[in-house]
Amino acid sequence: MKLPNTLYLLLLLPLLAGCNLQKDIDVVLPPHKPVLVVEGYLEYGRPLRITVLESSSYFDEPEVPLVPDAKAFITYKGRRIALRYQPHADPVYNKYYTHRSDEIMTGQPGDMYTLDVSDNQGRKVTATTTILPRVPIDTIEWRFNEKEEALLLTSFQDDPDKANFYRYVVHRDSVEKASARDFFVNDNLTNGQRVSIGSGYNYRKNDTLIISLYHIEQKYYDFLTSTSDAKNANGNPFAQPSRIKSTVEGGIGIFTNLVYDRKMVIIK
């Protein structure tokens, strides 16, 4: 829970803004040996695509650190599928990929996919992901205040027999636009309960909302948490610096599967 850190920043910001005491400084960083950075999100019915880049020293030029000699394979049910190096963009989601196969992901809950990536420098990254079952959204409802603003309530049933992790995303009008709300939760406090996720009075009549509930792996949740913590620590004097908890071995990154229930509503 990051609420207290947010409160402290709120207290501190007027002071900092009032004084405007900020300046550029030189920081000498130790030499950094780049490591492979992999992002792979498998989605049912879509081709197998991943992004392989490498890390950069913080003050290096901000360019895309491609790794053209990286060779990537995904293994499913004993079959090793090669992903060819072909940097390309997906204009719908505004995403970039470096490696792809025409093979479509067909995994069912419980199935396991394995990834291995290597390059000519001897760097090697491996990872696995197990397909999770979809968790259906029960109900989506909303309530108006006196200003005709609506809050949104999304309910679903948590499985009491497992530790579950979720990512909740709300888009306005289209999933092709940037999300209006995006956060991830675990069921530590709500195990086995019918969980309701609320919101502030952020919506108005006739808003079209697309609500997605992702059922995510714990290691993906840990990766999201650690990257969020690392980003927050850079610029927040009250936050503890955090190391990245990757789901891959031998490098940095995430290899997981995206299973979600998605509903569209129009606020009336």
110 vs 130: CA distance, rounded Å? 6
Token readout for 76 is: 């499913």
3-state secondary structure of 4: helix
Per CB under 8 A, contacts with another protein among 152-191 are 155, 177-179, 182, 188-190
Q: Is the dihedral of CA 121, 125, 126, 132 positive or negative?
A: negative
Figure out which of the listed residues 114, 128, 130, 225 binds another protein, where binding follows CB under 8 A.
Answer: 225
* Number of residues this chain uses to bind another protein (CB under 8 A): 79
Residue 115 pairs in a beta bridge with 74, 127
263 vs 132: CA distance, rounded Å? 19
Please tell me whether residue 39 binds another protein under the rule CB under 8 A.
Answer: yes
Q: Which is nearer to another protein, 71 or 181 (CB)?
A: 181
Figure out which of the listed residues 46, 88, 162, 194 binds another protein, where binding follows CB under 8 A.
Answer: 194
Figure out which of the listed residues 184, 201, 262, 267 binds another protein, where binding follows CB under 8 A.
Answer: 201
Asked if 158 and 191 touch (Cβ cutoff 8 Å), the reply is yes
Per CB under 8 A, contacts with another protein among 46-105 are 51, 53-59, 62, 64, 90, 93-96
Q: How far is the CB of 100 from another protein (least distance, A)?
A: 15
Please tell me whether residue 45 binds another protein under the rule CB under 8 A.
Answer: no
Please tell me whether residue 14 binds another protein under the rule CB under 8 A.
Answer: yes
Please tell me whether residue 266 binds another protein under the rule CB under 8 A.
Answer: no
Neighbouring residues of 136: CB distance < 8 A, sequence distance ≥ 6: 156, 157, 261
Q: How far is the CB of 47 from another protein (least distance, A)?
A: 16
Please tell me whether residue 108 binds another protein under the rule CB under 8 A.
Answer: no
221 vs 188: CA distance, rounded Å? 13
